[in-house]
Structure 1
Amino acid sequence: MEKILIAGATGSTGKRIIEILNNSQSFDPVAMIRKEEQKTIFDDMEVKWVLADLEGDVSEAVKGVDKIIFAAGSGGSTGPEKTDAVDRDGAIKLIDAAKKAKVKKFIMLSSMGADDPAAHEELKHYLEAKAAADEHLRKSKLKYTILRPGRLTDDMGLGKVNLAEKLDDLGEIPRDDVAFLLIMSLADPLLPNMTVEAIEGEEPIKSAMIELSRG
């Protein structure tokens, strides 16, 4: 079994990732938590956890980990200081620690619009932070997949997406489907060293990922 560290495990998308991985025969999830009182969530699920803060030292969190899913985020509405600390500097810190620990693959949850932050004035700083973290990952020499979804919703996932390296429509996508996309990206043949955008669509997730991976 591969040990998968999930940064942002207590967030809405992170919890969905943990739930899916916890029922998998291939992956052993490890929830990265910031406060010790958060451990009860995962103790109840019989999920391993590790105490680490993206604004502090993360070197212990990556020890013995095979792959990482970064699903943490300030949400874009917590102010520039928090956005920089988590979405940019926190991500960069975890990428560097992953490289040092020889982690096999790093899956990044980013955001549509990160390729052109100036076009989205109300989210500009948040998207700039995401873009900086994405670029650092690309240059890290780690194996990676960067997923840039549209606006996240809490609708039930239908397992169907519109997936491409660049989409014209910003669109929406359920968190359930984003969680599945991130988890499927753990498989080495899928979306290798690629940055992709995703919104809800008509194509089943697995076939969309295979098709895009083949180019």
Structure 2
Amino acid sequence: MKVLVVGANGQIGKHLVQLLHSSSEYSVKAMVRTQEQVKELHNSGIDAVMANLEGTVEELVEAVRGCDAIVFTAGSGGHTGADKTLLIDLDGAVKTIEAAERENITRYMMVSALQANNRENWNEQLKPYYVAKHYADKMLIQSSLNYTIIRPGGLINEQGTGHIDVGGNLSRTTIPREDVARTIYACLSNKKTYKQSFDLVAGDKPINEALNQISS
């Protein structure tokens, strides 16, 4: 299975690209924003493509071509305004969903945000971000794609433990970015996670054990 990582130069994306690159089960194509990033990845032996989430769907179709799955880990970042949040986290995500459908790529994984599905639990200081995530997730659920939506808690850069908790309404706690990437990796071919959405935080269960307890 060849996996396109959208946002491959982000912190979660970098972890995931390395996991996929070192895997015997998957191959990876990294989608980044600059030619310098493409060159750096190529020098490491990693397939990469330059594409802009603010570009056209047709351009994104070219980027996703040849892949079997897409993981959306991109984000506008904490230092941009609400306009970029809408253009990247909402419209950019939806355009990759449309590109996947055009290319008959059925497996799609979205990195969302804790409780993005529940307006009553949104972080008021990040409301435009939560609005974008909420509606991007809705569009994915309504698409024809075989989706998994992962809603991680507060992202930290501590070393991963390989232990998580998943559920529909978890407390607002944290999780290492490394463990988010490991969870994405574990979900790719795990049919228990198909057509599922769940919160994700650090916990006491090994990743595969936690995922296998997800109920249909």
* TM above 0.5: yes
Would the aligned equivalents of 1:184 and 1:190 in 2 still touch at CA under 8 Å?
A: no
1:188 & 1:61 partners in 2: Cα distance? 25
Give the SS at the match of 2:77.
Answer: coil
Q: Does 1:162 align with 2:168?
A: no
How big is each residue's C-alpha offset from its partner over 1:11-56, in whole Å with a ceiling of 9 and x where there is no partner?
1110000011011001110000111111132123200011211000
2:190 & 2:23 partners in 1: Cα distance? 17
2:138 & 2:11 partners in 1: Cα distance? 25
> What letter corresponds to residue 148 of structure 1 in structure 2?
R
Give the SS at the match of 1:55.
Answer: coil
TM-score of the pair, normalised by structure 2: 0.94
Give the SS at the match of 1:61.
Answer: helix
Query: Which of 114, 121, 124 is residue 124 of structure 2 equivalent to?
Result: 121
> What letter corresponds to residue 163 of structure 1 in structure 2?
V
Would the aligned equivalents of 1:107 and 1:146 in 2 still touch at CA under 8 Å?
A: yes
| 1:7-156 → structure 2 map (5 Å cutoff) | 7-57=6-56, 58-117=60-119, 119-156=122-159
2:62 & 2:192 partners in 1: Cα distance? 28
Which residue does 2:187 correspond to in 1? Answer: 185
Would the aligned equivalents of 2:115 and 2:199 in 1 still touch at CA under 8 Å?
A: no
Give the SS at the match of 2:116.
Answer: coil
1:208 & 1:113 partners in 2: Cα distance? 18
Give the SS at the match of 1:196.
Answer: strand
Q: List runs of 5+ in structure 2 lacking aligned partners.
A: none
Would the aligned equivalents of 1:110 and 1:149 in 2 still touch at CA under 8 Å?
A: yes
Give the SS at the match of 2:61.
Answer: coil
How big is each residue's C-alpha offset from its partner over 1:133-157, in whole Å with a ceiling of 9 and x where there is no partner?
0000000020000000000000000
147-156 vs 52-61, which moves further: 52-61
Would the aligned equivalents of 1:22 and 1:28 in 2 still touch at CA under 8 Å?
A: yes
Closer/same/farther in 2, CA of residues 117 and 37 from structure 1, 3 Å limit = farther
Matched pairs, number: 212
Give the SS at the match of 1:30.
Answer: strand
C-alpha displacement of 1:76: 4.2
- CA RMSD in angstroms comes to 1.3
Give the SS at the match of 1:60.
Answer: helix
> What letter corresponds to residue 141 of structure 2 in structure 1?
R
> What letter corresponds to residue 66 of structure 1 in structure 2?
D
Q: List runs of 5+ in structure 1 lacking aligned partners.
A: none
Would the aligned equivalents of 1:113 and 1:120 in 2 still touch at CA under 8 Å?
A: no
Give the SS at the match of 2:54.
Answer: coil
Query: Which of 183, 201, 204 is residue 202 of structure 1 equivalent to?
Result: 204
Give the SS at the match of 2:88.
Answer: helix
